[in-house]
Structure 1
Amino acid sequence: MNPWVSILVMIIETLATVYLLFVILRFMLQLARADFYNQFSQAIVKITNPLLLPLRKVIPGFWGIDLACLVLALLFHTLIAEVMAVLSFASFINPGLVLLWALLGTIKVATWLCMGCLLVIVVTSFVAPFSSHPALLLIRQLMEPILRPVQKIIPPVGGLDFSVLFVFLGINVLQRVLDIFAANLSLVPVIIIGY
Structure 2
Amino acid sequence: MGITGSIGTLLNFLLEIYAWMILGRVLLSWVNPDPYNPIVQFLVRATEPVLEPFRRWIPSFAGLDLSPVVALLAVHFTQRIVVTLFHGGMGGGAIGSLIAEMLGILHLLVTFYMLLLLARGGFHVHSWHTFRKGQPPGIDLRKPLIRFIFQATEPALRPLRRHVPNFSGMDVSPFAAAVLLLMLLSILQELMVGVSGARLSLHG
Q: TM-score, normalised by structure 1?
A: 0.53
Q: Any stretches of 5+ residues in structure 2 without a counterpart?
A: 1-50, 85-91, 128-137, 199-204
Alpha-carbon spacing, 1:108–1:187, altered in 2? closer, same or farther (3 Å): farther
Q: Does 1:39 align with 2:58?
A: no
Amino acid at match of 1:108: H
CA RMSD of aligned residues (A): 3.6
| Residue equivalent to 1:112 | 111
Alpha-carbon spacing, 1:179–1:132, altered in 2? closer, same or farther (3 Å): same
Amino acid at match of 2:62: Q
Q: Deviations over 1:151-190 (max 9, x none)?
A: 01113232211212211111111011111211221269xx
For residue 144 of structure 1, give the secondary structure of its aligned residue in structure 2: helix
For residue 155 of structure 1, give the secondary structure of its aligned residue in structure 2: coil
Structure 2 Cα separation of the partners of residues 150 and 165 of structure 1: 11
Structure 2 Cα separation of the partners of residues 46 and 34 of structure 1: 10
CA contact (8 A) 1:77 1:106 kept: no
| Residue equivalent to 2:133 | none
Deviation at 1:40, TM superposition (A): 5.5
For residue 135 of structure 1, give the secondary structure of its aligned residue in structure 2: helix
Alpha-carbon spacing, 1:172–1:35, altered in 2? closer, same or farther (3 Å): closer
**Greater CA drift, 114-123 or 143-152:** 114-123
CA contact (8 A) 2:121 2:175 kept: no
Larger radius of gyration: 2
Structure 1 Cα separation of the partners of residues 120 and 160 of structure 2: 15
Alpha-carbon spacing, 1:157–1:30, altered in 2? closer, same or farther (3 Å): farther
| Residue equivalent to 2:202 | none
Alpha-carbon spacing, 1:94–1:178, altered in 2? closer, same or farther (3 Å): same
Identity %: 18
Aligned 1:1-20 pairs, distance under 5 A? none
Alpha-carbon spacing, 1:73–1:112, altered in 2? closer, same or farther (3 Å): farther
Amino acid at match of 2:192: A
Amino acid at match of 1:153: H
Amino acid at match of 1:154: V
| Residue equivalent to 1:75 | 78
Count residues with an aligned counterpart.
Answer: 130
Q: Any stretches of 5+ residues in structure 1 without a counterpart?
A: 1-26, 53-68, 82-92, 189-195
Amino acid at match of 1:109: L
Aligned 1:129-148 pairs, distance under 5 A? 129-148=139-158
For residue 156 of structure 1, give the secondary structure of its aligned residue in structure 2: coil
